[in-house]
Structure 1
Amino acid sequence: VDRDLCRNPDMSFRFIEDHRDAYPVRLMCAVLEVSPAGYYAWRDRPASQRTKSNATLLAAIRQAHHDSSGRYGSPRVHAVLRTQGRGASRGRIERMMRRHGIRAITAPPRRVRTTDSRHDLPIAPNLIARDFTAEAPNRVWLADITYIPTAEGWLYLAAVMDLFSRKIVGWAMRDHMQVELASAALTMAIQQQRPQAGLIHHSDRGVQYASHAYRDALTGAGIVASMSRKADCYDNAPMESFFHTLKTELVHHRDYQTRAEAQRDIFAFIEGFYNRTRLHSA
């Protein structure tokens, strides 16, 4: 037993209070050499300033966690509370969330092949080389495709990310992952952002991005193509991170009966949460 606990009755009583659901109170009192009567008297005292502070902080943590629909863990909850002017440390918030069972929703990933690089189309050089930084918006875009399961079959999502802001500036959803899917996401990004010539567009070597139609669209907008090395997902890590976030924070917690239902949910996630309010670790 920690000697500090035995020398400090308040610390002993706090330990007992924190662990009384796991161990008998009388057993802990005996081990820590304090009396059960002393513990219950301590527990019945008027709330201390620290207790009041903890209660206020816990309420703020629960609110931040609720506002993110359960998606935020301790690092982002800490960031939210810091913007509110609360000075609690990240360690204190982490301990309090763990003690009260407040955790970010997660789920194991599922894998489906969305990249078909078995083609003879031209391959662009890798201009990014895993340097995932940009000096301003619309200097570097990343593009990729993922899938969402529904009772009607797969729904495919093509997305274009601005590397500077990490926002999804273009996206499209279809029941297929042909060239038109990727082209629709690119068209949305170009129409909304109107980038200047010289922007770098980075993607994998999939047939959608290497196709003549897609390359013509890039050339027409003055956009320079860049492609990852073969079968290397780390060359497009920020997009992989976005898809992981989408699935662990939303898709894996839904049971979509129709593609239309999934489309509405994903639209709300991208435009209502991810692009507007989500705190990005980058």
Structure 2
Amino acid sequence: MHTSSRCTYGRRRILSTVKKSFIKFGKKRVSKIMKKLNINSAGKPKFKTTTTKVDRQAIHFPNLILGDFTSYKPNQLWTSDLTYISTKDGWVYLCIILDTFSRAIIGWSMHDNLKNKLF
């Protein structure tokens, strides 16, 4: 079970799977067997990177396109996206502006923090 789950099943999942097979095992017995076979489950990631911080005093603009990204001539509709990239020296933040008609990148900016304005 442990190997077929890509080493993610721990004591609780193995115990619940064994109980579904109508085999009577207790959690101590499963723990002892796992310890004897040197089986450890994969833990959760140590951290989760969050970059979104809500500014309650910022001006919020309405969504004017409502999910319709079609445009019939150049420079009619631009979209933007911000992404962060992990590098050997730390995080780098990349912002691009894209013309939806030609799908060409109009501009881009990169910085090592979000405190400065990217555009």
Give the structure-2-normalised TM-score.
0.54
Q: Quick one: distance in 1 between partners of 2:50 and 2:64?
A: 24
Aligned amino acid, residue 176 of structure 1: N
Q: Quick one: distance in 2 between partners of 1:113 and 1:137?
A: 35
Return closer, same or farther for 1:159/1:114 CA change in 2, 3 Å cut-off: farther
1:153 aligns with 2:66: no
Give ranges in structure 1 of 5+ residues lacking alignment.
1-110, 184-282
In terms of fraction of residues, the more strand-rich structure is 2
Q: Cα RMSD (Å) of the superposition?
A: 1.7
Residue of structure 2 equivalent to 1:131: 68
Per the TM alignment, residue 133 of structure 1 is displaced from its structure 2 partner at its CA by 0.4
Give ranges in structure 2 of 5+ residues lacking alignment.
1-47
Residue of structure 1 equivalent to 2:34: none
In terms of fraction of residues, the more helix-rich structure is 1
1:113 maps to which of 44, 47, 50: 50
Return closer, same or farther for 1:119/1:158 CA change in 2, 3 Å cut-off: same
Aligned residues: 72
Per the TM alignment, residue 121 of structure 1 is displaced from its structure 2 partner at its CA by 1.1
Per the TM alignment, residue 112 of structure 1 is displaced from its structure 2 partner at its CA by 4.3
CA contact (8 A) 1:112 1:147 kept: no
Residue of structure 2 equivalent to 1:166: 103
Return closer, same or farther for 1:117/1:137 CA change in 2, 3 Å cut-off: farther
CA contact (8 A) 1:133 1:164 kept: yes
CA contact (8 A) 1:161 1:167 kept: yes
Per the TM alignment, residue 115 of structure 1 is displaced from its structure 2 partner at its CA by 3.3
Q: Give the 5 Å matches for 1:53-68.
A: none
Q: Quick one: distance in 2 between partners of 1:171 and 1:125?
A: 24
Q: Which consecutive segments of 4 or more residues in structure 1 shift more than 4 A?
A: none
1:122 aligns with 2:38: no
Return closer, same or farther for 1:122/1:142 CA change in 2, 3 Å cut-off: same
